[in-house]
A and B are shown apart, each in its own frame.
Chain A
Amino acid sequence: MQIKLRVFRFDPEKDQKPRFDTFFMDVDPNDRVLDLLEYVKADFDSSLALRRSCAHGICGSDAMRINGRNYLACKVLVKNLHSDQITVEPLLGLRVIKDLIVDMEPFFENYRSVLPYLINDEALPEDGKERLQTPEERDRFEDTTKCILCAACTTSCPSFWSDERYVGPAAIVNAHRFIFDSRDRAAERRLNILNQQIGVWRCRTAFNCTEACPREIHITTAIAEVKQAILSGKV
């Protein structure tokens, strides 16, 4: 099918302000949007800059705004957009460095701020084997282990757009993953970190994050569970 592809372009070394380049191309409806960008690089303009790696929705490199919504470019097909006009822009809320590449550092800084790692200083089992955990205990945080840190959720969040100090849905998801892990012992520290203006209270349940998540994590539910834990003092 014939499509019109508009791609956000900005070269900080040449351009005063961003522009859109338009490409007309004949594509297969089953092509991924990432494929279209690769066609651009191969056949039209090899200087187009974007991040991508695994190309099947697992590495989280190519989150971007496609027709106004956040997707992984490798996980959305042309036909699913139901349009012969496709506009590709960088993620909102993070500084654009070049073309579709944004500065991910504020995102990772927020992620690191919630202590996203297992904390348990108790002695390991004497036999040196695994710490035990029932399947039910594991199910408690299964959903939030799926996060690939692509930033599609955080950069779809209006609260994050207005203030990048807000930890954002991705950081809360990763805090949730440890707060509800029966092997972890630092729920109290994480909940106190999130119990502040730029923590969970900044979430206004817009549900954008849940819609944007390419891993279909129930993010708003996870955030609500963290709020509950803060209010009740129980995990």
Chain B
Amino acid sequence: MTNIHQYDVVVVGGGGAGLMAAMYASQRAKTAVISKLYPVRSHTGAAQGGIGAALGNLEEDSPEWHTFDTVKGSDYLGDQDAIEFMCHEAVQAVYDLEHMGLPFSRTADGRIAQRPFGGHTNNVTKKPVRRACYASDRTGHMILQTLYQQCIKNNILFYDEFQAMDLLLVDGKVAGVVAVELATGELHVFHAKAVIFATGGHGRIWEITSNAYAYTGDGCAIVARRGIPLEDMEFFQFHPTGIYKLGILITEAVRGEGGILFNKKGERFMERYAPTIKDLASRDVISRAMYLETRAGNDVNGQRFFYLDVTPETVNKYAEIDGRTRPDGTPYRVTAQEILSKIPDIADFCQTYLGIDPTRQPIPVQPTAHYAMGGIPTNIMGQVVIDEQNTVLPGLYAAGEVACVSVHGANRLGTNSLVDLIVFGKHSGIHAAEFALGADFVPLPADPTEYVREQISRLHAGSGKEKAAAIAREMKAEMFDHVGVFRTQEGLEHAIQKIRELQERFKDVRVTDSGKIFNMELLQTWELGNMLDLALVTAQSALARTESRGGHARDDYPARDDVNWLKHTLAWMDRDQIRLGYKPVVITKYPPKERTY
């Protein structure tokens, strides 16, 4: 039995971008949100640091500076018109959040508190500027909660625990989406004038990741199967210090407080890779160094991890060697108590998950897959654009991590993920409602659920020779080894071959649970199919790009190549083949320069 619903706007995904879009769309159009998780379970909640906006509450700042920092951080691959738009809109967006009730931390005079963050600078003095607006160390959590609260207040209609599985396109126009209700296994057709995808990222295709289990790239996979290209998929941010095996982030502040990275020989290896700033080098540099150390066999126990040591003895020893001083000129020396007071949450994570006190023992860390810069290509109104000429697909929108506007280019600056959600969530919602009011419903295809039924029956009809868990394990390991922080032609070719092989083997997977009610095995097996597709797109895009830029580091092409590669990748999934195309980067005020900090 199929249930058919009709809405002007359907939002897929209940995280920060989806809720923001739903709130603004519902002001004018009949709107519903479908989400595979309860919205408050979304991964927006895991963000800690802050949301960047040039409020200037504590010192001089301006959206222009924020724009330049973001352009530079993107290694000049970000579209400068979009970045400028985002950084200017960010200010009002943060005030909007405050008016909705977000409990920002406050300055002594009652304004929103701000703190410095990596890459955010005063463009005149080049010194760090306090731009990240924060709510304790739970900024993402508070954004998600506040938006959900406002959605309850405004009676937004939610279809919780509904998994979107297909996008309906008729004659190049949006007709709706098909979703399965997890609680019953029934298919639902959402007939809509406009659809907004806000389904988040796909970090789960890598073995070690800070991403949630839910981050399986469903949105990208769904639209790609319907002929829409994916942009800049080779750019994925790896954070160097995730907790060993778990991938949970250890903030850069630990190294800021004097923490040192060691390999198994007790050697401070960053000295060799970044002789000047050593352990405080940027994320991509350290992640790359760790990879090289692993390849040289210098990882601890051969288990691909390193030690991040923030015990007072170590901090003080190396502070003395480095001649590090405090601002008043006295030698930099710390006590255990002082360290604890600076990183209470990290101490809590270490205590909970490793059972160690970071002021007494070193923390085992390794690079962790963190954030997708690439995704569904959109313009600044969130409209999905489907080719090199940026042709708009009427009625289709994307916002948040799933989208690629592109404001993050080759490397995202800290705090900008939350800015992206809020700004582009809002504008895609506003624009989708406006579009829906001026458009008619596109008639549904004769059998709207056909493709979904076909996908589901295929998952039940496999021979059962292969296990989904084994394929997932192999994919994640392969991606981490060859399409991770460090890439070579040989490795990427190996990965492509391996993923194709896994895709073949995936056809022999059989879902054993034949039930309808909460068939999580079916859902997770389908998600694995999505991840395999995105893994292939990522590897193919990475193989083609013969340069190193931001999050994409090639051993065989170590330099940035603006002559040939200052352009966005577009990747189409044509049946079993990946077809690549390219479109230019929008450059307005800031011509590309060498990126040094």
Within the complex, what minimum Cβ distance (angstroms) separates A51 from chain B? 8
| Residue B95 is within 8 A (CB to CB) of chain A in the complex | yes
| Pairwise interchain contact B515-A13, C-beta atoms closer than 8 A | yes
Residues of chain A at the chain B interface (Cβ within 8 Å): 11-14, 30, 32, 41-43, 46-61, 75, 77, 79, 97-99, 101, 104, 108, 112, 116-119, 124, 128-135, 137-138, 141-142, 145-149, 177-178, 181, 183-184
Binary contact track B116-151/A, C-beta < 8 Å → 1, others 0: 000000000000000000011010011001100110
| Residue B321 is within 8 A (CB to CB) of chain A in the complex | no
| Residue B100 is within 8 A (CB to CB) of chain A in the complex | yes
| Pairwise interchain contact A75-B101, C-beta atoms closer than 8 A | no
Kindly list chain B residues whose C-beta atoms are within 8 Å of the C-beta of A147: 145
**How long is the Cα–Cα vector from A51 to B136 in the complex, in angstroms?**
28
Number of B residues near A (Cβ < 8 Å) is 62
CB-CB under 8 A for A132 and B40, given A56-B246, A145-B135, A148-B141? no
| Pairwise interchain contact B110-A46, C-beta atoms closer than 8 A | no
| Pairwise interchain contact A132-B152, C-beta atoms closer than 8 A | no
Kindly list chain B residues whose C-beta atoms are within 8 Å of the C-beta of A55: 212-213, 246
| Residue B469 is within 8 A (CB to CB) of chain A in the complex | yes
**How long is the Cα–Cα vector from A76 to B161 in the complex, in angstroms?**
25
| Pairwise interchain contact B46-A56, C-beta atoms closer than 8 A | yes
Kindly list chain B residues whose C-beta atoms are within 8 Å of the C-beta of A130: 95, 98-99, 104, 111-112
Kindly list chain B residues whose C-beta atoms are within 8 Å of the C-beta of A119: 153
| Residue B226 is within 8 A (CB to CB) of chain A in the complex | no
Q: Considering only CB atoms, which chain B residue lies closest to A103 in the complex?
A: B183
Known: A98-B518, A135-B107. 7 other contacts (CB 8 A): A12-B517, A54-B212, A56-B246, A117-B101, A134-B108, A138-B103, A184-B101
| Pairwise interchain contact B513-A46, C-beta atoms closer than 8 A | yes
| Residue B482 is within 8 A (CB to CB) of chain A in the complex | no
| Pairwise interchain contact B468-A46, C-beta atoms closer than 8 A | yes
| Pairwise interchain contact B212-A117, C-beta atoms closer than 8 A | no
Which residues in chain B, 52-101, are within 8 Å of chain A measured between CB atoms? Answer: 55, 92, 95, 98-101
**How long is the Cα–Cα vector from A133 to B349 in the complex, in angstroms?**
30
| Residue B590 is within 8 A (CB to CB) of chain A in the complex | no
Within the complex, what minimum Cβ distance (angstroms) separates B527 from chain A? 12
| Residue B248 is within 8 A (CB to CB) of chain A in the complex | yes
Please name 16 pairs of A and B residues whose Cβ atoms are closer than 8 Å in the assembled complex, sorted by A.
Answer: A30-B354, A49-B519, A53-B43, A56-B246, A59-B45, A77-B355, A97-B517, A98-B517, A99-B518, A108-B38, A117-B152, A130-B98, A134-B108, A146-B138, A148-B40, A181-B103
| Residue B352 is within 8 A (CB to CB) of chain A in the complex | yes
| Pairwise interchain contact B46-A59, C-beta atoms closer than 8 A | yes
| Pairwise interchain contact B106-A134, C-beta atoms closer than 8 A | yes
| Pairwise interchain contact A13-B516, C-beta atoms closer than 8 A | yes
Within the complex, what minimum Cβ distance (angstroms) separates B97 from chain A? 9
Within the complex, what minimum Cβ distance (angstroms) separates A146 from chain B? 7
Among B43, B467, B473, the residue within 8 A (CB) of A59 is B43
| Pairwise interchain contact B515-A11, C-beta atoms closer than 8 A | yes
| Pairwise interchain contact A75-B110, C-beta atoms closer than 8 A | no
Q: Considering only CB atoms, which chain B residue lies closest to A118 in the complex?
A: B101
| Residue B41 is within 8 A (CB to CB) of chain A in the complex | yes
**How long is the Cα–Cα vector from A99 to B519 in the complex, in angstroms?**
11
| Residue B257 is within 8 A (CB to CB) of chain A in the complex | no
| Pairwise interchain contact B101-A183, C-beta atoms closer than 8 A | yes
Kindly list chain A residues whose C-beta atoms are within 8 Å of the C-beta of B149: 116-118
| Pairwise interchain contact A14-B515, C-beta atoms closer than 8 A | yes
Q: Considering only CB atoms, which chain A residue lies closest to B470 in the complex?
A: A42
**How long is the Cα–Cα vector from A184 to B521 in the complex, in angstroms?**
44
Residue of B104, B107, B469 most packed against chain A (CB within 10 A): B469
Kindly list chain A residues whose C-beta atoms are within 8 Å of the C-beta of B153: 117, 119
CB-CB under 8 A for A53 and B212, given A77-B353, A79-B355? yes
Kindly list chain B residues whose C-beta atoms are within 8 Å of the C-beta of A149: 38, 40
**How long is the Cα–Cα vector from A51 to B40 in the complex, in angstroms?**
13
Residue of B46, B55, B106, B520 most packed against chain A (CB within 10 A): B520
| Residue B105 is within 8 A (CB to CB) of chain A in the complex | yes
| Residue B512 is within 8 A (CB to CB) of chain A in the complex | yes
Kindly list chain B residues whose C-beta atoms are within 8 Å of the C-beta of A133: 106, 110
**How long is the Cα–Cα vector from A141 to B106 in the complex, in angstroms?**
13
| Pairwise interchain contact B106-A138, C-beta atoms closer than 8 A | yes
**How long is the Cα–Cα vector from A95 to B310 in the complex, in angstroms?**
47
Within the complex, what minimum Cβ distance (angstroms) separates B95 from chain A? 6
